[in-house]
Amino acid sequence: MATEDDDRRSTDHHGHDVIDPLYVGIVTVSSSRAAAEDPDDPGGDTVQECFEAESHEVRERLLVRDDYSSIRTAVRGLVARRNIDVVVTTGGTGVTADDVSPEATSSLFERDLPGFGELFRSLSWDEIGTRAMASRATAGIAVDTPVFCLPGSTGACRTACEELIVPEAPHLAGLATRHHAGSNDHTLADYEEE
């Protein structure tokens, strides 16, 4: 979706489209925290810290249970907003039966970003060895918005955000919305239909 204001859109020194600062939405996936209404959210806090350290702004944080419909609904609502440029989910990327974040988010993707998962697992290998293969971290573009699906651990969130997402997200958001730059032809209703 086009950004809410074009004054954040520019090009970098290579002439690539960028949006900076980014407006970010974070979805924490945790049935136990959602049931207890637990304000403690180390994964989401880490994601927020990483973006804010580079002067980006977190506009929305949501907490949902490990449930396909809840995750999909939360992400779908965020990518449909004009004031959200990037969405990051944390939690639910493992291999247990209730780890459905990759399926829920990727069902919204118009285009996959397989390189993200590959690079993330490569970096994770250096930190946790063979256990990296159990991560199903993924990313894609949904409603012209980059969406990243991360594990819930603070270490994984920090690695993904500092090494991959925060450095590249302004460019990805710029590219994903380039066809809308300077245009108000599309409305929110265009993206809410399914």
Q: How far apart are CA 56 and CA 44, in angstroms?
A: 15
- Of 183 and 185, which is predicted with more confidence? 183
* Mean pLDDT rounded to a whole number for the chain: 88
CB 183 within 8 A of CB 2: yes
Among the listed residues 142, 168, 19, 8, the one whose alpha carbon sits nearest the alpha carbon of residue 81: 142
* ω into 170 cis (within 30 of 0): no
- Of 9 and 51, which is predicted with more confidence? 51
pLDDT digits (tens, 9 = 90+) for 29-65: 997 777 777 678 999 999 999 999 999 999 999 999 9
In sequence order, the 6+-apart residues with CB closer than 8 A to the CB of 87 are 24, 25, 26, 27, 75, 78, 79, 142, 145, 146, 147, 148
Look at residue 178 and tell me whether its pLDDT is greater than 90.
Answer: no
Task: Identify the pLDDT of residue 181.
Answer: 60
Look at residue 127 and tell me whether its pLDDT is greater than 60.
Answer: yes
Provide mean pLDDT across the span 2-25.
Answer: 81
Task: Identify the pLDDT of residue 5.
Answer: 57
- Of 5 and 193, which is predicted with more confidence? 5
Task: Identify the pLDDT of residue 32.
Answer: 75
pLDDT digits (tens, 9 = 90+) for 163-173: 999 999 999 99
Look at residue 190 and tell me whether its pLDDT is greater than 70.
Answer: no
Instruction: Write down the domain spans for the chain.
Output: 18-179
Task: Identify the pLDDT of residue 39.
Answer: 75
Q: What band does 182 get if pLDDT is binned at 50, 70 and 90?
A: low
Q: What is the pTM of this model?
A: 0.88
Q: What band does 188 get if pLDDT is binned at 50, 70 and 90?
A: very low
Helix (H, G, I), strand (E, B) or coil at 11: strand
Provide mean pLDDT across the span 115-141.
Answer: 92
Look at residue 1 and tell me whether its pLDDT is greater than 70.
Answer: no
CATH superfamily, domain at 18-179:
MoaB/Mog-like domain (3.40.980.10)
Q: How far apart are CA 36 and CA 34, in angstroms?
A: 6
Give the distance between the most distant pair of CA atoms in the chain.
48
Task: Identify the pLDDT of residue 115.
Answer: 96
Q: How far apart are CA 191 and CA 158, in angstroms?
A: 31
